[in-house]
Amino acid sequence: MDLKAACEALSASGAPPERKFEGLDTVRKLLVNIQRSPGEEKFRRVKKSNAAIQNRLFPECWSFLLAAGFQDAGEVLVYPGDPGPLLGQAISAAEDFIRRLPAGASIAGSSSSAPPNTPASGAFPA
C-alpha cells in the first residue's frame, strides 16, 4: 500500500474522532522520532505486542506506518532505511489529518505538536 492509499484508508476508517486522534498522534510521534534522531535504533523498531501501541493504533495506522517506510519483521515493524522525502510526506499527512479532526477530538493531556491549521504540502488528506 502506498502513502496515498493509506491516507484514503484513514479517511474511510469508521474509528471515532478521538480514536483517530490518538492513533494518528502516536503515528506522528513514531515518525518524528525517526526524523529527529535517525541514528537511534530504538526509534526504528515498533514492537507489535507493546500494550500501549496496541491500545493506541487501529488497523489503518499500522498500514500507514508500512506505507511510510516501516517493514513488517514478524514481532516488530522496522524502519530500515535512511529517512527521506517519504518520511517527511508521511509526517505532513499525519499532521494534516490531526488538524482536520473535529474540535475536541484530542485527548486530554496530549502533547501533540502538530502545527496550526495550515495545509501541509505533499500530504494526501482526503
43-84 pLDDT per residue, tens? 999 999 999 999 999 999 999 999 999 999 999 999 998 899
Which amino acid is residue 38, in one-letter code?
P
Q: Do residues 42 and 78 make contact, with C-beta atoms less than 8 angstroms apart?
A: no
Task: State percent of the chain over pLDDT 70.
Answer: 83
**DSSP one-letter string for 87-126:** HHHHHHHHHHHHHHSPTT-SPTT------SS-PPTT----
Look at residue 32 and tell me whether its pLDDT is greater than 70. yes
Look at residue 126 and tell me whether its pLDDT is greater than 90. no
Residue with cell 526524523: 35
Burial of 104 (0-12, 13-18, 19+ CB in 10 A): exposed
pLDDT at 66: 97
